[in-house]
Amino acid sequence: MRDYSKVSPQFWIGETGKRLRKAGAEAQVVGLYLMTSPHANMLGLYYVPMLYIAHETGLGMEGASKGLQSCIEAGFCQYDEASEMVWVMEMASYQIASSLVATDKRCAGVQNEYNALPENPYLAAFFDKFRSVFHMSKCRPEAAGKPSLIEAPSKPLASQEQEQEQEQEKTSPDGEVAIGDADSASGDKLPNCPQQKLIDLYAQHLPTLPFPRVWEGERQKAMRTRWRWALTATKRDGSRYATDEETALAFFDRFFRFVSESDFLTGRSGKWTSCDLGWLMKAENFAKVIQGNYENKEAA
């Protein structure tokens, strides 16, 4: 266990901190806990079961789960349920330094700490993010060359709303998907989300998965949020994944094709058969897919 942790004032007043505050007290408590947890390391990538978070914050399982989900949606951290590993993406920068010179002995410490981590889905992304600033020399063998849909985003998924599927679906008599009329132009002039085109791409690549008969309310809102993310998130080099409707549609074409290659998500493995478009559009699930968590292996 570490003797101390650093918590910058930016935790409270930075952009991510503001998103945590907007999400509620549970998000702030869980975020602060993850920065100062007795189980944490200087990398911000460590093993912490949900039970630990619930007990040590006093939030209980429901409050801890809600707080963690809000932290994920705010772009503060990522969490893999299978390995029970959390990655607080910017924590290493605060706990160690924004960058080190190659002769700094802490560089070796970072590499050694990284080498000792349990296997988890974030090894490659961590190495890519910090290899140059901490002069890391070796990516873990199981992470090296690991394919993914896109690079790890420097701007995480931005969602302030709890995205829950409606429990009851309505069906249209002609068998076509019924789409609500809630779409409207955004204030920053991003192209409107072409919901029907995205649904068509889903059906094209994933014909064996359930087809939505109705697409409205929270599901429609979730799809607009994912669409907006594709147009506003930036890569490490500062470029965007998509800049207009055409390139955003190409992004989602790759996304659904990526899903179609997963034995787990498509149900071919026989382990799980509940994937559908509503599930894929939820913030946490969308993030896990693009990070490669569901490539043909044990699912996250």
Contact 54, 61 (CB under 8 A): yes
Q: Report in angstroms the alpha-carbon separations of 5 from 84, 210, 234.
A: 21, 47, 29
Using alpha carbons only, give the angle 50, 86, 10 rounded to the nearest 5 degrees: 110
pLDDT digits (tens, 9 = 90+) for 31-47: 999 999 988 899 999 99
* Total-model pTM: 0.49
Domain boundaries, the chain: 10-130, 178-290
The stretches in the chain having pLDDT less than 70 are: 1-4, 142-188, 235-238, 297-300
Residue-level pLDDT at 249: 95
What is the 8-class DSSP label of residue 146? Answer: -
Architecture label for domain 10-130: Orthogonal Bundle (1.10)
Q: Report in angstroms the alpha-carbon separations of 51 from 27, 58, 62, 71, 228.
A: 16, 10, 11, 17, 34
CA–CA separation, 169 vs 214, rounded Å?
Answer: 7
| SS3 state of residue 46 | strand
Residue-level pLDDT at 75: 86
Residue-level pLDDT at 114: 92
Per-residue burial over 163-181, b = 16 or more CB atoms within 10 Å of its CB, e = otherwise = beeeeeeeeeeeeebebee
β-strands 45-47, 85-88 pairing = antiparallel
Residue-level pLDDT at 241: 85
| SS3 state of residue 10 | helix
CA–CA separation, 154 vs 243, rounded Å?
Answer: 16
Residue-level pLDDT at 247: 94
Task: Report which residue type is found at 212.
Answer: P
Q: pLDDT > 70: what percent of the chain? A: 80
